[in-house]
Chain A
Amino acid sequence: MEDAFGLSSEFVGLRNFTDVLEDPEYVSTVLFTLFFSVMVTLFSLSLALLLAVQVNEVLTGAGVYKTFLMWAYAIAPPAAGLVGSLLFSPLMGDLYNGINALGFDFNHTRDGSDAIFVVVLISVWKQLSINFIFFLSGLQGIPASVQEAARIDCPGSIKRFWTVTFPLLAPTTFFLLVINTTYAFFETFGVIDLTTRGGPAGSTTTLVYKIYQDGFLGADLGGSAAQSVILMLFVICLTIIQFRYVDKKVHY
């Protein structure tokens, strides 16, 4: 344990770690982070894939579609967060008013699940473009001869997609899975900081955001450093799992 000014420090063994792990709040932060990562990865991958497949079959005006779908790639997470916070402002947000006009009792400043919806939505929107670009290039990399053979053997377009196209896209999908998980864990910080600040009641606090709150706002260096180590181990394990189990299913 060290005071923030580095004037005195004391060796306390694993106390920083036990303090963190015994904290019920920390456990709920871990659970939220996992849930959040799964949601963001799942939705941004599936939506991007859907869009890429659709665009790939468009013949007229494909360039326009592509440009618009890639546009959001240039947006930094904090900018996305700012746009989101304005759209969902309880005083003047168009989306906020729109959802309430549809008859939902929506208030992300009070209701945890509404807040989670907001941060997931913005994070997915921000990540959609990059996934779209990769999927589209993956689709265009499938040889025309394979496509034609599949078309003859399998007339149903949906079945054809799942039996031929999707397996051929597997390397791209796996790469994006790893990238998106990392994105959800780390880069969504900007989105969360500008929309919910981890609230209400800690319901949108990810592991990274908690490290920032404790260390950078609260000057508790020992606790914050312990959390960083835990987070690092966490991500290492996750990546190992992905490479060991998912990678086996991918044909290059």
Chain B
Amino acid sequence: MNIRKLIVFAGLSVSSFAASIAQGATELTLWHAMGGRNGEVVEILVDRFNQSQDEYRLTAVNKGGYEDTMTAGIAAFRARKAPHIIQVFDAGAATVINAKGAVYPVQDLLEDNGIAFDSNDYIPGVRHFYADSAGKMIGMPFNSSTPLLYFNKEALAKAGVTPPKTWEEFEQAAPKLKAAGYLALAQSHSPWIFSENFHSRHNLPMATGNNGYDSTDVKILYNNDALKMHWGKVKEWMDDGYYGYYGRAWGDNQDAFTKGQVAMWLGSSGSFGNLQKTADFEFGTTYLPYWSSLIEEPKSTFIGGAALFSFTGHDADEYKGIAEFYKFLTQAETQLLWHKETGYVAITNDAYSLAKESGYYQEAPDAEVGMLQLSLAGGEWTKGYRLGYYVQIRESLYKNYEKILSGQTSVDDAFNSIERESNKLLSRFNDTYN
């Protein structure tokens, strides 16, 4: 690009920006926690929305991690400077939804602005998590992911094993992988994968009060034999050299997989895009394994990731803009782009059909695994959960699991203390929000 072109280009972009200001486009902000490639894709979506119409200008701002984003959003709400749209993650949903009068439910927001909403347009796995117990959608599912097993094809071929469907099969395969010079397994989020989705996959309740959807006066049900058995096994695997733990950071465990130390890694369907960039070997994906001793027909997992929420207190024309953005976001083409570029699932049936028709899954069959897993038969306990102070409850899970792994405490003691700490937090939350 020579200088003259550059000047013309700069002039044009300034004038187009000025034009949009001059026309009085309504400014909207979106706060999110998407980093890396996923953050770039958010920018692409926002640009497309801005180009698709000229009444609204949406600006996306990355506020750090999920917790930071939520805290920043809450602080901004208190200062009456809340963003129009904010991304809130699964564990924080209860905090936002239970604050009476803070959130404008997305279903109302759309219908008040003349946009029809039918939750049956969405794939089954995402219908319930961010809805109230009557099924009204409160947050717009945005980056919906589900835990998957990623496996290094070379490593499995070298050891002569197939990807395990059940944990029993994993126990058969692990010694062979060890003999081939690999740690068999690592995972990146033990509360999410080895607690929450463990319950969903085996159709077990996580908490009283319908997993917390019906009330805030609830008790945790983690202290059960199934989960204790599983963690007893994880500890054994670790002692036998089949399981690697690289600390609490998501990326450190993922790196162990991409560097070829670990043959299989439990991560998120949303890790797909980053893995394609970083792994220099062929990898595949399959469902989250289950214990055949606990359940014959394993159920679907529920979504993780986060949803978009809008707070109360903005102007009517701003809400109209927000509704327009949600409408744009749920269009099949937008969802397909998001799904392809990030690996997060497509949340509408139309987008899923479009993905199938476009032949995307022929070229990348692994990309469909998350969709298929979320579309498995659901059970009574596969909707998700709504538990207050869940961020701290996850902290307690992490802490006690680390104690199990380091041999500081027995499995029984660890789960007693998980139960005690979680119930104390839940009762504090109940007293705070009622």
Contacts and interface: CB of A to CB of B under 8 A. Distances in A.
Interface residues of B, number: 43
Contact of B247 (A3, A109, A218): A109
Interface string B212-240: 00000000000000000000000000000
Interface string A1-43: 1111111101010000001000101000000000000000000
Interface in B382-434: 389, 391-392, 395, 398-400, 402-403, 405-406, 408, 421, 424-425, 428, 431-433
Interface string B44-57: 00000000000000
Contact of B432 (A196, A213, A222): A222
B399 A89 contact: no
Nearest to B433: A3
Interface of B is mostly: helix
A197 B101 contact: no
A111 interface: yes
A3 B99 contact: yes
Contacts of A201: 399-400, 402-403, 406, 408
If over half of A's interface residues share one DSSP class (helix, strand or loop), that class is named, otherwise mixed; here it is loop
7 contacts: A4-B95, A7-B101, A89-B252, A91-B246, A216-B67, A219-B95, A220-B389
A214 B392 contact: yes
Interface in A183-231: 196-197, 199-202, 213-214, 216-220, 222-223
Contacts of A3: 98-99, 432-433
A111 B67 CA distance: 26
Interface of A: 1-8, 10, 12, 19, 23, 25, 89-91, 108-112, 196-197, 199-202, 213-214, 216-220, 222-223
A6 B406 CA distance: 40
Nearest to B94: A219
Contacts of B395: 213, 218
Nearest to A210: B395
A5 B311 CA distance: 11
B421 to A, nearest CB: 7
B277 interface: no
A194 B410 CA distance: 29
A112 B406 contact: yes
